[in-house]
């Protein structure tokens, strides 16, 4: 695996200084992923926009910015605000809201950020507010691919994007409100390994783009997966880049212009950079079943409970212990709170530190205060340096906005 695994000395030092549970991020893996993305997609007019919903920790985003990532893909007005505060230019930020309100579209537009509309309603409402302005549209390519069915964002059953049968109506609305189409966007889902369906989406976007000679960019979304299991192979990003470049080269030759390509990787940029470090609190034998309780739970990393997703777990304290079959549970009072069921792991003892790997995407950002637990601390490792990037949330901080 290419995911970050803290060594024993490092993990113990972090646990002693910052407590557990704690998300631990390796800055060098963030840089590695940024370089891989930039090297693979070497079309001469390319912008990589980090999908900040995957992990909005400002320290992490800063490292990606320093690594050469051009901009930010956002889904909320607050994400736009953070992107601007971190120094990204408005023209390098795109707002693709999920059923956005008029207030959100107005707010981001007034800050110079382009709205990427995913419905006829959004185009019409935007046109009424900003006649003559530039807008992008998100098309639903009719195909989708993802690690889990719930992450597919293409096809008629998806709520995202404008389906092909509504393209004509979308173009009529652009004309009605004198809107300039600046970009066409598509996103098929989150968590695919092979290029076939992705390339079909690219072809559809380019087909539509040919009808708009003043188009600034095409945006093919993100969704590139990373290895979660030890036997998983890394996605062949170079092959993705090669196939996309061929299509863009053909497009340029046929249309007499070189269009800007945008990509919006999120999971790919951050997932492997981070491990959730937790301490074993309880070893419990129940008949033939062994349960290992920890001091974290689905409130900090909900993916296993929500999707049934796999995260590899390593016993940092006792890596050479005899192998046992155990179910790793959280400390939340819910029967779904498992990180692994019947998983082989080196002898787990009370007090041992476990690392739940590949937790950098959709981990801390989906945390909640369920059972009145606070958000976990977050730290970053950069060579020999270790620094706090998010304080552990206290009881007082959880309760401060309640009125009683």
Catalytic residue IDs: 333
As a whole number of Å, the end-to-end CA separation of the chain is 49
For strand 134-138 and strand 114-117, is the pairing parallel, antiparallel, or unpaired?
parallel
In whole angstroms, how large is the CA radius of gyration of the chain? 22
CA 209 from chain center: how many Å?
26
Going by the DSSP 8-state scheme, the letter that residue 266 receives in this structure is: S
Dmax over Cα atoms in the chain, in whole Å? 71
Helix (H) or strand (E) holding 9: helix 8-18
Residue 221's contacts (CB-CB under 8 Å, 6 or more residues apart) are 185, 186, 187, 188, 201, 263, 264
- Quick count: other Cβ atoms within 10 Å of Cβ 303? 22
Structure tokens, 65:
């910015």
Q: Give CA separation, 266 vs 6, 206, 224, 403, in Å.
A: 22, 23, 8, 36
Q: Which two tokens stand for residue 369?
A: 């205060």
3-class state of residue 343 by DSSP:
strand
Residue 386, strand partner residues: 381
Taking the C-alpha atoms of residue 276 and residue 22, their distance in angstroms, rounded to an integer, is 6
360 three-class SS: coil
The answer to whether the beta carbons of residues 261 and 220 sit under 8 Å apart is yes
Beta bridge partners of 290: 285
Separation of alpha carbons 328 and 278, rounded Å: 11
Decide: 55 and 270 in contact? Cβ < 8 Å: yes
**CA atoms within 13 A of residue 138's CA, in its CB half-sphere:** 27
Q: In whole angstroms, what separates CA 335 from the centre of its chain? A: 27
- Residues with Cβ within 8 Å of 149's Cβ and at least 6 positions away in sequence, in order, are none
């Amino acid at each position: 695996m290419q995911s970050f695994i803290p060594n024993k000395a490092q993990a113990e030092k972090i646990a002693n200084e910052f407590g557990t549970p704690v998300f631990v991020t390796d800055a060098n893996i963030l840089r590695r992923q940024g370089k891989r993305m930039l090297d693979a997609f070497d079309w001469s007019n390319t912008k990589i926009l980090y999908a900040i919903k995957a992990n909005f920790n400002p320290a992490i985003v800063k490292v990606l910015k320093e690594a050469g990532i051009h901009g930010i893909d956002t889904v909320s007005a607050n994400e736009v605000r953070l992107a601007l505060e971190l120094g990204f230019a408005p023209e390098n930020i795109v707002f693709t809201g999920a059923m956005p309100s008029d207030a959100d579209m107005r707010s981001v537009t007034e800050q110079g950020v382009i709205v990427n509309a995913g419905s006829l309603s959004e185009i019409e409402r935007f046109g009424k507010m900003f006649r003559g302005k530039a807008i992008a549209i998100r098309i639903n390519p009719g195909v989708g691919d993802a690690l889990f069915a719930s992450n597919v964002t293409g096809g008629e059953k998806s709520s995202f994007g404008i389906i092909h049968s509504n393209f004509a109506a979308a173009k009529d609305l652009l004309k009605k409100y004198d809107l300039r189409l600046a970009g066409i966007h598509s996103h098929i889902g989150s968590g695919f390994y092979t290029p076939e369906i992705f390339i079909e989406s690219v072809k559809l976007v380019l087909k539509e783009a040919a009808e708009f000679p003043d188009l600034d960019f095409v945006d093919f979304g993100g969704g590139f997966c990373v290895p979660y299991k030890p036997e998983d192979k890394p996605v062949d990003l170079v092959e993705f880049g090669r196939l996309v470049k061929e299509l863009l080269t053909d497009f340029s030759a046929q249309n007499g212009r070189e269009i800007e390509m945008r990509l919006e990787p999120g999971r790919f940029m951050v997932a492997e950079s981070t491990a959730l470090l937790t301490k074993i609190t309880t070893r419990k034998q129940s008949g033939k079943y062994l349960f290992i309780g920890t001091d974290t739970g689905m409130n900090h990393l909900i993916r296993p409970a929500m999707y049934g997703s796999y995260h590899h777990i390593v016993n940092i304290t006792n890596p050479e212990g005899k192998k046992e079959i155990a179910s790793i549970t959280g400390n939340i009072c819910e029967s779904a709170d498992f990180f692994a069921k019947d998983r082989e792991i080196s002898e787990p003892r009370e007090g041992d530190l476990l690392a739940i790997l590949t937790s950098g995407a959709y981990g801390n950002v989906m945390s909640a205060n369920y059972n009145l637990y606070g958000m976990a601390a977050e730290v970053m490792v950069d060579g020999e340096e270790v620094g706090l990037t998010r304080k552990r949330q206290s009881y007082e901080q959880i309760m401060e906005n309640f009125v009683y």
